[in-house]
Chain A
Amino acid sequence: MISKELTRRFFLQGSGTVAGGALLRAGVPAFIALSQSACSARDAGAAFETLSVGEGRELEAIGARILPTTDTPGAREAGAIWFIDKAYGSVYADSLAADRVLLADFQSGIAAAYPGAEYFSDLDEADQDAYLTSHQHTEFFNNIRFMTLAGVFGIATWGGNRNDIGWKLVGMDGPPHAWTPPFGYYDAEFMEAQKDGE
């Protein structure tokens, strides 16, 4: 399998590396067990199309630490998990099986590190951040990081970026994306100077 990270970084210079191995493992009992759990992401009356409830809960919890809720909305409020659910059922369907294996691998160390906890979403935020820090260079983290960011900042028809939360977050006015100058501080200053005859 080719690392998706490269695709997601294709305007960066350099060839990067080709990662593999994710398809070499099989069997995801912890993941299946999660599907029996409740999911905090679940909208009233809505259900995931691809992810199990437990998968959704875990991936949403990870996304909520990648782009956390602070004094402004984060990945959870933007509905990134709904993008992820849709993407794994369509354009990234061929990655689902491998990423499920990677999730199981990711979860496999939680119980030992945090007695009494079984899943990432069981941990408090400080422990979640600590656990993610220890996994932030893994293929799994990079995959979920990208999925989360695409869910926050992609167009809303993909299921995320609800109410243009992602675009508003970075100061990008929402659609229809048609503007007249001046656009920013420096061109406004320039235009003002021109007007004043400088």
Chain B
Amino acid sequence: MANENQVTFPVDEPVDFVIVGSGSAGGIIAKELSTNGFKVVVLEQGPYRRATDFTHDELSVENLGELTGGDHRVNQQTFRQDANEVAEVRATQPAFYAQTVGGSSVHFTANFWRLRELDFKERSMLGSISGTNFADWPISYADLEPYYAKVDWDIGVSGAPGPNDSFRSRPFPMPPIAIKSSGVLMERGASKLGWNAQVEPLAILSKPHNSRPACINCGFCMGFGCEVGAKSSTLAAMIPLAQASGNCEIRAECAVFRVASNDQGRVDEVFYYDPDGNERSQQARAVILSANGAETPRLLLNSASDAHPDGLANASGFVGRNLMWNSHSNARALFEHPLNDFKGVQVTRIVHDFYETDTARGFYGGGGFDGRPFSAAVPIKYADSGGAPDQPRWGTEYKANLEHNFTRSMSIFCGATSLAQDRNNVTIDPTHKDRWGRPSLRITYKDHDDDMAIAKFLQDRAVELLDAAGAEKYWRIPIEYQSRGAHLLGTCRMGNDPQTSVVDKNHRSHDVPNLFLCDGSSFVTSGRGQPTMTIMALAFRAAEHIGTAARNNEI
């Protein structure tokens, strides 16, 4: 275990903060508060893995859910497209996230886009969209920019400014990762079309930084943990600093099932199952939920009480609503020569020329796309589903195609907006339980027509680029309504109006003064994809406000 030397706190004496979740937000808030002298207990439902525990075992990671709490056989979530349906357990978990210290920052691909100014005020720019909860954020890009810069330097981001970027107050702390063949082809195609293929910012170190090593280009980034700690997860960049403060205890394999509130309307105790399955609780002066955009609303709903009959912090009824996954599309291609794109990071170049909403298109939305190997970095998946749809699925010709095409494959992956809607939400399943016995996550989701339209629009551009780049063959992955998402956004949105939001602009619950929520659930709009950078920036900002309030006895 990695926590043998850490401080331990008694459960029956209140610590300053209990933080639920150690991922992109929780890990940062834990580091910031503990290094500022606050006593912090972090409850993380996943195990405490070290970098040396991470492998290239594709079957375990991709198919058996080694980092995501197991596959559907043990980690049951349910899904339905419409509220009139009975949600069912499917072979693919609808809410896809890691269960491990460091959370999904451990297994994410490390694409690291900032939002742009327009993302925070698009409702004001474009007007309302009927049937949606499209709204402005209560903060601006300028409010968040200093914390984006802090993420760049404290977490570790490689990159270079692009022509479509918003302003930055500090330069990138290190140069970009070396361009790959997919990046060269992105530049080639974009140039012919008059577009810009710009450097992809990555939460992966191109050179040693903050006592961590540079990337070794192993290629197992997407879905895997980094065995050298070059991926800038909170596990690598924040948790060690939090523990070294002597003020932070990480309790791994502790699954929270209820946050209790007292007669004064304040939360004071967090109940969880310990690694042996025993019920425990930790007293706290304040509680911060950073469990992700699916788990945070589930915990609030599972914490319903007489005082909070619809769930904790849910007087607005907005807990769990407005789930946004970002819309996605994909096009794939084969080139004449080997790209060997299984080597190195997934993405080195992106196109952001279609980021803004263009009302002339007739629908809301914008996005970006990147060049990457996608499944051509993981051979089981590639052999199973990476080939062209007109090719045989087995036999001599199939094998010959695999031998020839694996190294010559490339994908363009498009990420775009999704609109906030009441019908897309996280609720509690009335029947199913997870492996701890907690009522399961129930995801209800159907993409908005505009989300489907922008996904199609970007896929058309991706195909144009592949053709311009000289692909010998390319094809589209059919765009269908999504049934799983890794971007878990919007389910406890921030806002100034307690009637239409769950937390204020500093992440404090409108209803419970010593309860804070900070993770993807805080988003008001979806951005265009790759939300982790913004989750981390929000976390640094939230930690600063929470720490100041605590010092001023204002919690």
Contact = CB atoms under 8 A, between A and B. Distances in A.
A70 B400 contact: yes
Interface string B51-71: 000011111001110000001
A94 interface: yes
B181 A186 contact: yes
Contact of A3 (B91, B179, B335): B91
A94 B296 CA distance: 32
A18 B80 CA distance: 13
Contacts of B403: 72, 169-171
Nearest to B480: A14
A136 interface: yes
Contacts of B521: none
A14 B483 CA distance: 7
Contacts of A2: 72, 89-91
A178 B218 contact: yes
Interface size class of A (residues with CB under 8 A): 35 or more
Nearest to A190: B184
B56 A175 contact: yes
B147 interface: no
B380 A7 contact: no
A11 B385 contact: yes
Given A15-B483, A172-B379, A183 B59 contact: no
Contacts of B64: 91
Contact of B343 (A13, A15, A94, A179): A179
Contact of B339 (A158, A178, A185): A185
A1 to B, nearest CB: 10
A132 B396 CA distance: 13
A154 B59 contact: yes
A91 B71 CA distance: 11
Contact of A183 (B181, B330, B395, B481): B181
Contacts of A6: 90-92
Nearest to B382: A170
A140 B87 CA distance: 27
A178 B343 CA distance: 8
Interface in A112-150: 129, 132, 136, 145-146, 149-150
B56 A172 contact: no
Q: Which of A6, A65, A74, A150 has the most CB of B within 10 A?
A: A150
Contacts of A176: 218
Given A15-B483, A178-B218, A68 B396 contact: yes
22 contacts: A2-B89, A7-B72, A9-B384, A11-B374, A11-B375, A14-B483, A15-B481, A67-B394, A67-B398, A94-B73, A146-B384, A150-B63, A153-B383, A154-B57, A154-B58, A180-B217, A183-B340, A183-B341, A183-B344, A186-B335, A187-B178, A187-B181
Report, nearest first, the 6 A-B pairs whose CB atoms are least far apart: A185-B337, A184-B181, A170-B406, A6-B91, A186-B181, A153-B379
